Structures are given as structure tokens and as C-alpha cells.
Amino acid sequence: MPGIERTLSIVKPDGVEKGVIGDVLTRFERAGLKIVAARMVQLSVSEAGGFYTVHRERPFYGELKEYMASGPILVLVLEGENAVTMTREIMGATDPREAAPGTIRADHAESIERNVVHGSDSPESAAFEIPYFFPEIEVYSY
Ligand code: CMP
């Protein structure tokens, strides 16, 4: 279907800890995105590093890996029209101080690291991130 995309989203350890999984899922579903895969997992530091390998040269990489491995996360595949952009709009800017009012990060995030959710930043990133967690057979088509 033209325009239909998939993107990877994660409710990060702070989002799970704060009890906002339901709120995050509701916002995605209300926007018309379908949850086509979901899994709760606690990553090892090295698994978190593999996921964020694109940031391996950045000064925050070490802390980011540790943080993402610090508790359970909910990993999701979302499907819908312009799913990558749509998900990023619903989440708001990476830094919650810059996130538009009414977005997930404006409402729930406390810092750039503890920013509640992740979403693929492009279809190319989604093409790497989705199979990092889900084999094709675990992503539903309905
Ligand atoms: P995310 O969208 O998951 O992608 C990379 C993550 O690195 C980002 O959200 C932030 O939570 C985290 N991060 C930590 N420090 C920084 C920083 N200074 N700039 C950008 N991202 C950062």
C-alpha cells in the first residue's frame, strides 16, 4: 500500500517505571497507527549498544547504553501512513524542553536521556531497527 510505513518505537525504562505505557499506546492508536508487534524485554548493555550503534562516536553513547539496559522496555512496531513522521510528531522533540505542548515528551519526559520514548528517525533507520528486535514472522499483517 503506498504511503504505509512501519517504524520502531520503544517505551524506555523511565516510561515503563512511570506507568505511562497505556498513555503512549493510546496516543499512537488514536493517531491511527496500528501496533503490529510488541515485546517487553530488558536489554544487556551490549544489546543496547548494538541498537544505538549509529551513536557510537557520540559523547553520550556510554550513558545511553547503560540507561537503556537499566530496566525493562516495551518495544513496538507501528504501522500506518507516514508512520515514521507521525510517530515523531506524537513523541515531540528529543529534548523535552523543546518538545511541543501536548506531545508525549512534553507531558512526561524529564531530560534528553530520560525522554520516555524512542522512534525511528527515518525509514532507513526503521529498516535496521525493526529486524533488530523482530523477525518478519513476528510482525503482523492485518
Ligand atoms: P532517541 O530518540 O532514543 O535516540 C538517541 C537517544 O540518545 C535520544 O533519544 C536521547 O534519549 C539520547 N541522548 C542522550 N543525550 C543526548 C544528546 N546530548 N543529544 C541527543 N540525544 C541524546
pLDDT (tens digit, 9 = 90+) per residue, 23-67? 999 999 999 999 999 999 999 999 999 999 999 999 999 999 999
pLDDT at 64: 98
Mutate to test the pocket of ligand 1, among 115, 121, 133 (most ligand atoms within 8 A of CB): 115
3-class DSSP string for 64-75: HHHHHCCCCEEE
Whose alpha carbon is nearest atom 3 of ligand 1? 118
The per-residue pLDDT of the chain, averaged, comes to 97
114 CA: nearest ligand 1 atom: 11
Cell numbers 528486535 correspond to 133
H runs (alpha helix) in the chain: 13-18, 21-30, 45-51, 61-68, 83-91, 104-108, 123-133
Q: 3-class SS at 22? A: helix
Nearest-CA neighbor of 31 among 108, 87, 111?
Answer: 87
In this predicted structure, the answer to whether residue 1 has a pLDDT above a threshold of 90 is: no
The reported pTM is 0.97
Pocket of ligand 1 (CB under 6 A): 55, 60, 64, 94, 112-113, 115, 118
Burial class of residue 22 (count of CB atoms within 10 Å of its CB; 0-12, 13-18, 19+): exposed
- Encode pLDDT of 78-137 as tens digits: 999 999 999 999 999 999 999 999 999 999 999 999 999 999 999 999 999 999 999 999
Q: How far apart are CA 90 and CA 68, in angstroms?
A: 21
